[in-house]
Structure 1
Amino acid sequence: MEILFLLIPIALVIVAAAVTGFWWATRDGQFDDLETPAVRILLDDKNTDESKK
C-alpha cells in the first residue's frame, strides 16, 4: 500500500511532462503541416549528385 505514495506522484510527473511536451510541440508549429513530409519522398530531387551522372 505504501508503494502508491511513490507511484502516484511519479505518474503525475510523467503525465505533466507529456502534456508539457505536447503543448510545446503544438505552439512550436510541429503539427502545422502533416501532408508535405509524407509526399516529399515521392518528389524527384533534381539537385543530387546522382542526377548529374
Structure 2
Amino acid sequence: MAALYILIPVAVVLVAVAIWVFFWAVDSGQFDDLDGPAHSILFDDDEPQKPSAADAVESSEDQPEQRKGD
C-alpha cells in the first residue's frame, strides 16, 4: 500500500510531462504537414540538366580526336 503513495504522484507527473511535450510539439509545428514530404519524393519536379557549352568543351577534350581516313 505504501508503494501507491509514491507511484500515483510519479504517474501523474509523467502524464503531465507527456501532455506538455505534446502541446510543445504542436505549437512548434511538428505536426503541420504529415503527407507532403511522403508524397513529394514520388514527383520529380526537376527538369533534366542540359549540357552547357563548358561541359561540351570538357567532354570533347576527354575523347580522342577521330580522323576521317581511319
TM-score, normalised relative to structure 1:
0.71
Residue equivalent to 2:53:
none
TM-score, normalised relative to structure 2:
0.56
The structure number with the bigger radius of gyration is: 2
Percent of aligned pairs sharing the same letter: 53
Q: Could you tell me which runs of 5 or more consecutive residues in structure 1 were left unpaired when the two chains were aligned.
A: 47-53
1:19 equivalenced with 2:19 (yes/no): yes
CA RMSD of aligned residues (A): 1.7
Q: Summarize deviations over 1:1-53 as a string: whole Å, max 9, x none.
A: 01000000110111011000000000001111011122234345x6xxxxxxx
Q: Distance in 1 between matches of 2:41 and 2:17?
A: 32
Q: Which runs of 4+ in 1 moved over 3 A?
A: none
1:33 equivalenced with 2:12 (yes/no): no
Aligned residues: 46
